[in-house]
Structure 1
Amino acid sequence: MNLEQLNINLFYIFNASDHPSALIKQLALFSSNYLIAIIGVVLLALAFLKKEQRYWHAVSLSLCSIAVALITAKIFSLFYYHPRPFVLHIGHTLIHHAKTTSLPSHHMLGIAALAFSFLVLGFRKIFFVLFISSLLIGWSRMYLGVHFPFDLISAEIWALISVYLMKNISTYPCDKLMARFSRNTTKSPL
């Protein structure tokens, strides 16, 4: 069995059935459409409440890492196209989606970059919540029929590399953003 066949076989395990449960479908739709935004709002609210320099550093690192991950993924998509399951008429598709490349998943890139940013700065509990959320979002994208498992796995790896680069390579715009966010721990940075 080659990797593409393995990818398809794994997709069938997570994809919706012929007659999906209304409750599971709603959970998948919520996870896919709203969970990332809710997490972002909660993390920003915590940042204003905590006023801890290390926390603001994690927020700014995640913003820069997400930007780098999404920009490089967009550039990658100019040179490589991998069809989504519904384009190949595989599985059941429960939402409408454009026929853009499936690899890597942008939803997963965002949540994974967020999670890894908090992990590398020592926020293990927040990382754990974000990582569990990323699994839920990844499952929802497969369940709804718009991503293969390897799209999600590649996004996790891509996000980890983006966080590593942003944490270890000096880049002027991100350094400036991080300095602005972490300049003063007694008042909000904005």
Structure 2
Amino acid sequence: MFETLNHRLFELLSAPPEMTGGALLAASLLAQGAVFIAPALLVSIWMLGDNSDRCSAVGACLSALLALSVASAVSGLYFHSRPFMDGVSRNYLHHAADSSFPSDHSTLLFALGWSLLFVPPPSMRLAWIIPMSLAVAVGWSRVFLGAHYPMDIVGAALIALASAFLFSRTSARKMSSILTSYGERVL
């Protein structure tokens, strides 16, 4: 049943096999390039903010590192083929034929979005909207282009949610504060 739902949703969201031109270029840029906006956001928070803002950015970074580590472990332990490997889509992104679950791009962006939502930078309370919007858009584009199934994106969001929740707790926030203080002295 789970795989049937995954395949049905993929059929609804995937690109037509003959897609070319501007739509392909736009979706490809979103799927591959938008992930670089998130680190730029963290750098902006660090550079423009005060100590509390920086602590939020460091916590978001730590959350993303944990989420990506968990995603990598899950991917190594559980192999799930990609749509193009199953023959249900073209490989528009020329992606390697490795495990699709969960999406690393979406994991990173969702982790940053959830983290900045749970522990917002005081002077940029709505900063979470940027990575969260990108996570949804990038997730969609990677499904659209045949690199992931929809549940790969849902799995990424859940792993990221758990990681961000962990780093929103008091003990993890203390670690973020210590690392922030160290970074402020070094920089």
TM class, shorter-chain normalised?
Answer: 0.7 to 0.9
* 1:87-98 → structure 2 map (5 Å cutoff): 87-98=85-96
- Post-superposition offset of 1:177: 4.9
- Give the secondary-structure state (helix, strand or coil) at the position aligned to 1:125: coil
The answer for the alignment partner of 1:8 in structure 2 is 7
- Post-superposition offset of 1:113: 0.4
- Equivalents in 2 of 1:14, 1:139: separation in Å? 8
* 1:103-118 → structure 2 map (5 Å cutoff): 103-118=101-116
- Equivalents in 2 of 1:182, 1:157: separation in Å? 30
Q: Deviations over 1:37-61 (max 9, x none)?
A: 12311331242022x2222112111
The answer to whether structure 1 residue 166 and structure 2 residue 161 are counterparts is no
- Post-superposition offset of 1:23: 1.7
- Give the secondary-structure state (helix, strand or coil) at the position aligned to 1:101: coil
Unmatched 5+ stretches in structure 1: none
The answer for the alignment partner of 1:41 in structure 2 is 40
Contact 1:56 1:182 in 2 (8 A): no
The answer for the alignment partner of 1:77 in structure 2 is 75
Distance 1:5 1:56, change over 3 A: same
Distance 1:19 1:47, change over 3 A: same
| Count of aligned pairs | 184
The answer for the alignment partner of 1:129 in structure 2 is 130
Contact 2:115 2:167 in 1 (8 A): no
- More displaced stretch, 39-48 vs 99-108: 39-48
Q: Deviations over 1:154-177 (max 9, x none)?
A: 100110101111222746xx8555
- Give the secondary-structure state (helix, strand or coil) at the position aligned to 2:128: helix
* Structure 1 residue corresponding to 2:51, chosen from 53, 62, 69: 53
Distance 1:4 1:39, change over 3 A: same
- More displaced stretch, 76-85 vs 39-48: 39-48
Q: Which amino acid aligns with 1:146?
A: A
Unmatched 5+ stretches in structure 2: none
Under a length normalisation based on structure 2, what TM-score does the superposition of the two structures give? Answer: 0.87
User: Which consecutive aligned stretches of 4+ in structure 1 deviate over 4 angstroms post-superposition?
Assistant: 174-177
- Post-superposition offset of 1:127: 1.5
The answer to whether structure 1 residue 17 and structure 2 residue 32 are counterparts is no
- Equivalents in 2 of 1:73, 1:16: separation in Å? 26
- Give the secondary-structure state (helix, strand or coil) at the position aligned to 2:126: helix
CA RMSD of aligned residues (A): 2.2
- Equivalents in 2 of 1:18, 1:140: separation in Å? 15
Q: Which amino acid aligns with 1:37?
A: F
Contact 2:10 2:150 in 1 (8 A): yes
- Give the secondary-structure state (helix, strand or coil) at the position aligned to 1:34: helix
